[in-house]
Amino acid sequence: QSALTQPASVSGSPGQSITISCTGTSSDVGTYNRVSWYQQHPDKAPKLMIYEVTKRPSGVSNRFSGSKSGNTASLTISGLQTEDEADYYCCSYVDNNAWVFGGGTKLTVL
C-alpha cells in the first residue's frame, strides 16, 4: 500500500487552468477506474470533488475535471478562483481490498 505520487505544490493565477498529476502503479490507478479526488481547506474535512476518474458529485463546479492515462490520473481546475486554494488529494482502490491516497498537493492561487 505505497502512497500515490503527487507534486507537493502547484500554483496559478485567477482565471488560469492547472493540472495536478497522481501517479500510481498497475496495482491501483493503472487497473481500476476507482480514482477519486478530494479538496481540503485548512482545518476542514476533505470534500469529494471527482469520483470514478471523471465523474463530478452533485454541487461540484464543472471547472473541476478528471482524467486518466495509464498509471497516472489527473485533476484539472479551469478558471482558477481564489477559493480553489486548498490541498488536493487523489485516492485509488488497490489490489487486495484497500485504498491508497496520494501525498497531497498544495494549490496556491497567486
Which of 34, 63 has the CB closer to another protein?
A: 34
Q: Does 64 bind another protein (CB under 8 A)?
A: no
- CA–CA dist 55, 10 (Å, integer): 23
Q: Does 66 bind another protein (CB under 8 A)?
A: no
Q: Does 36 bind another protein (CB under 8 A)?
A: yes
Could you say which of 18, 20, 74, 89 contacts another protein (CB under 8 A)?
89
Q: Contacts with another protein: how many residues (CB under 8 A)?
A: 26
CA distances from 109 to 3, 16, 37, 58, 86 (A): 26, 9, 18, 24, 9
Which residue from 24, 43, 36, 34 is spatially nearest to 86, judged by alpha carbons?
43
Which of 77, 91 has the CB closer to another protein?
A: 91
Task: Give the DSSP H or E segment for 28.
Answer: none
Which of 13, 43 has the CB closer to another protein?
A: 43
Among the listed ranges 14-22, 51-59, 69-77, 78-86, the one in contact with another protein (CB under 8 A) is 51-59
Handedness of CA 69, 49, 97, 22 (dihedral sign): positive
